[in-house]
Amino acid sequence: EPEVTQTPSHQVTQMGQEVILRCVPISNHLYFYWYRQILGQKVEFLVSFYNNEISEKSEIFDDQFSVERPDGSNFTLKIRSTKLEDSAMYFCASSNPKVATNEKLFFGSGTQLSVL
Amino acid sequence: AQKITQTQPGMFVQEKEAVTLDCTYDTSDPSYGLFWYKQPSSGEMIFLIYQGSYDQQNATEGRYSLNFQKARKSANLVISASQLGDSAMYFCAMTYQAGTALIFGKGTTLSVSS
């Protein structure tokens, strides 16, 4: 079965540094997402991306965050100046819904970001 | 606004028994989708089952079934014949439109013992 690929699996960075988390969604998918999960807490939506633009974003997705699809395969999340509270598991997901609400999201295995 | 509630932080079940994980939701949209995902200790999110708001039948996928009670706004996951490998965190989630956020509940940790 096709899968969403995320790299790196672990990222350690210093507070204030920029990080880029990378994802390769499933090739025929049209919608791309980033979610995050702080340890022991629920999965939180960050942003969705469709047709080369952000279609929805949450309150968490402030000016420190940006997303990009630089080529036909990669989808990246950039955190411009990391804070301690950005430490979390970041999941990329993609979907290709044929029915509006039947949106099975395929998740990557996540990038564990640790900000020191 | 949409909301998902999972009131069971932890559940314990013996191998081969059935278990029900509760999920209630709140939305004013008539069209929505409900999902269950499994997150084992390795961290990945595994899709289990989907139920559309207009689906007449309850969804089933192998040992997983979704007990959808629309009037009560509940979408409980039933796992029949539990296995040790079912031990994981289980998340209920919903969405109402393609490309919009999938809203997750807080999750239920299921522990299966032999």
pLDDT bucket at A97, cuts 50 / 70 / 90 = low
- Residue-level pLDDT at B89: 96
- Residue-level pLDDT at A100: 47
Per-residue pLDDT tens for B21-44? 999 999 888 888 899 999 999 888
- Which residues from chain B sit within 8 angstroms of residue A100, using beta carbons? 31, 97-98
CA proximity to B33, closest of B100, B89, B107: B100
Average pLDDT of the segment spanning A100-114: 81
Question: Residue B98 pLDDT > 90, yes or no?
Answer: no
- Which residues from chain B sit within 8 angstroms of residue A48, using beta carbons? 99-101
**What are φ and ψ of residue A4, in 5° steps?**
-90, 130
Nearest CB to A102; choose among B50, B100, B103 = B50
A2 or A8, which is more confident:
A8
CA distance B107 to B99: 23
**Å between B114 CA and nearest CA of chain A:** 25
Q: How far apart are the first and last CA of chain A?
A: 36
CA distance A98 to A8: 31
CA distance A47 to A38: 16
Q: Which residue in chain B is spatially nearest to A107 when comparing CA positions?
A: B45
A98 or A36, which is more confident:
A36
Nearest CB to B104; choose among A43, A89, A112 = A43
B10 at the A interface (CB within 8 A)? Answer: no
Per-residue pLDDT tens for B58-77? 999 999 999 999 999 999 99
Question: Residue A99 pLDDT > 50, yes or no?
Answer: no
- Residue-level pLDDT at B76: 98
- Which residues from chain A sit within 8 angstroms of residue B32, using beta carbons? 101
- Residue-level pLDDT at A105: 81
Q: Are the C-beta atoms of residues B63 and B81 closer than 8 Å to each other?
A: yes
- What is the overall mean pLDDT for chain A? 90
**Å between B8 CA and nearest CA of chain A:** 13
Q: What does the DSSP assignment read for A13-48?
A: E-TT--EEEEEE--TT--EEEEEEE-TTS-EEEEEE
B84 at the A interface (CB within 8 A)? Answer: no
Per-residue pLDDT tens for A15-60? 999 999 999 999 888 889 999 999 888 899 999 998 889 988 999 9
Residue partners of A105: CB distance under 8 A and separation at least 6: A33, A93, A94, A95, B35, B47, B102
Average pLDDT of the segment spanning B64-93: 96
Question: Residue B100 pLDDT > 80, yes or no?
Answer: no
CA distance A1 to A37: 25
CB contact under 8 Å between A103 and B95, yes or no, is yes
Helix/strand/coil for B85: helix
